[in-house]
Amino acid sequence: MIFKQFFDNSSSTYTYLISSGKGREALIIDPVLENVETYISSLKELDLKLVKVIDTHIHADHISGMAELRDKTNCVTIMGDKAPANVVAMKVADNENIKIENINIKALFTPGHTSESFCFLMNDRVFTGDTLLIKGTGRTDFQNGDARDAYNSIFNVLLKLPEDTKVYPAHDYKGETVSTIGEEKKLNPRLQVKSVDEYVNIMNNLNLPNPKMMDIAVPGNLSLGISLEKQKLSNGLEKKDFLKKIKDQNSLLIDLREKQEIEKDGKIEEGLEIPFTEINEYLKNNKQDLLNKNLLFYCRVGHRSALAVQISKNYNLENCHHLIGGIKNLNL
């Protein structure tokens, strides 16, 4: 397995690169915008294909590198399902798995630091975002944070994991790089409380200043998605026109979502199911057969389908459109 930890000095943020091996698919967790070129250099050096990128929550101390990585690599952007509507291409629910080649990562809903915070469990390690830090815990006094929710997320979710589970947080301010659940139980001063009320009292009296980047980072991270206007410019069709075009005998309907998304949200009608991570290979291998087809792409909110249109044009497949706003826009 390939596992790399990057550190951003200005925001004290940890970013993680994960892959099952050289020449394979890769995933990045909590990227920082200013370091995108560093991540891309590592991907090239290791001959990795970035297919997914995750943010654990809406960050307040830096602007996420998700959108830049998406634009440069056509990867799928992911957050938990409590994130604002159109920030990312794919959302995962509590206990849902995120898959890349030979690797499964389980999403854990852990509100408290922010209302939409998730942690991500992979075998012997858990990526805790700002929920659980090394010998600390994430503040709960902004972005709909809640100290009681944080207590529940830490004590009833994270601390229930095996004690040898490695803890990789999104931040550290003292030079620590990794801990374990067992070490945090014993050594984390904020976890030595005897009740939820005691924890709430500690968290409500930290009196910390707001992050320096907060007024820039939060609005910036809330606008990482591909806007409906941009989707329209990428051969986007409103739902009425899209549904009408499906009936054309020469049309080929392609669902770009993953299996668990289709099971959860349903589908428009029978057509091809090709996950976005495989669409480039499909188009490359079938471009001659597709030249006279009208390709109709759709996904969850229109991000992946807009990118699929651009990829199609790389293979001179000009007769392609996608559904603006995705299947969520159809209210199935």
Q: How many domains does the chain have?
A: 2
First to last CA, the chain: 40
261 and 177 share one domain: no
198 and 240 share one domain: no
73 and 151 share one domain: yes
pLDDT at 110: 98
Q: Which of 311, 214, 203, 205 is nearest to 256 (CA)?
A: 311
Q: Which domain holds residue 16?
A: 2-221
Given 171, 196, 221, which residue is the final one in a domain?
A: 221
Inter-CA distances, 94 with 108, 153, 318, Å: 5, 12, 39
Which tens digit of pLDDT belongs to each residue from 3-28?
A: 999 999 889 999 999 999 888 999 99
215 and 238 share one domain: no
pLDDT at 87: 81
Supply the CATH number for residue 43's domain: 3.60.15.10
187 and 241 share one domain: no
CA 179/CA 157 separation, integer angstroms: 17
CA 214/CA 141 separation, integer angstroms: 13
pLDDT at 241: 94
Please count the helices (runs of H) and the strands (runs of E) in the chain.
11, 19
Supply the CATH number for residue 304's domain: 3.40.250.10
What global pTM score does this model have?
Answer: 0.86
167 and 235 share one domain: no
Given 186, 221, 256, which residue is the final one in a domain?
A: 221
203 and 109 share one domain: yes
pLDDT at 213: 79
81 and 15 share one domain: yes
196 and 311 share one domain: no
Given 174, 202, 221, which residue is the final one in a domain?
A: 221
Half-sphere CA count of 168, side-chain side, radius 13 A: 21
The tokens describing 74, both together, are: 């056509």
pLDDT tens digits in sequence order for the chain, 332 residues long: 999 999 998 899 999 999 998 889 999 999 999 999 999 999 999 999 999 999 999 998 888 999 999 999 999 999 999 998 678 999 999 999 999 998 999 999 999 999 999 999 999 999 999 999 999 999 999 878 999 999 999 999 999 999 999 999 999 989 999 999 999 999 999 999 999 999 999 999 998 888 887 888 888 888 788 877 888 888 999 999 999 999 998 999 999 999 989 998 888 888 899 999 899 999 999 999 999 999 999 998 899 999 899 999 999 999 999 999 999 888 75
64 and 195 share one domain: yes
pLDDT at 332: 58
143 and 232 share one domain: no
96 and 194 share one domain: yes
